[in-house]
Amino acid sequence: MMTATTHRAIRDTRLVAILRSPDTDRLAAAAHVLVEEGVRVLEFPLTSPGALDALRHTVEVLDGRAVVGAGTVRTVDEAQRALDAGARFLVSPSLSVPVIEYAHAHDTAVLPGTFTPTEICTALEAGAELVKLFPAASHQPEFLRQLRVPLPEADVVPTGGVGLADAAAWLAAGAVALGVGSPLTGDTLETGDFAQLRVRARAWKAAVS
């Protein structure tokens, strides 16, 4: 049930905001701003120091208003720590079948990282309902359009280098959502300029609506 709810939130929002910073307070503040602007699916990559603390805080404070997950989850141990912190979904940079299996065993959505048709098929066969296409900047939207001809069941979330200008093209090619980091956050997490983040969030919401 929880997995289905998370998948629905990602599909409905069509945007996964990736928040990466060593400053835990700014991560939490950015999460608040994004949720206020309607961006309610948030990913905290484990490569950021304090990511789990920020994730835990966001889950507690924004309970019911945000769907919060962990990114850069490469091992079952990392998946376990993310779930212990309250993550509702797990995102990987590469294809890890053990992480997919662990997520399924704990009723948690998982977006494994894939790059090729073979990896996408393997992820789907392992039970992933959504797959992350990474890095999307190394592909074109036409790649996804062609991919979905033989694989119409592949629900793909392009991530990594997706800009505001090509958001519509990716969605038109069949993407169910977009994973977006710095093109959404700009330098807010370095400067603390949350007014800028609010403006960017509105632009992105308009682009995926």
**How far is residue 22's CA from residue 27's CA, in Å, rounded to a whole number?**
8
Based on the residue annotation, tell me whether 132 is a catalytic residue of this protein: yes
Residues 6+ apart with CB under 8 A from 22: 48, 49, 50
Marked catalytic residue, from 60, 132, 142, 205: 132
Marked catalytic residue, from 36, 37, 43, 78: 43
Q: The tokens of 47 are what?
A: 């490569």
Q: Where are the beta strands (DSSP E) in the chain?
A: 15-18, 41-45, 67-71, 89-91, 109-111, 113-114, 130-133, 155-158, 178-180
Amino acid identity, residue 162?
V
Active site (catalytic) residues: 43, 132
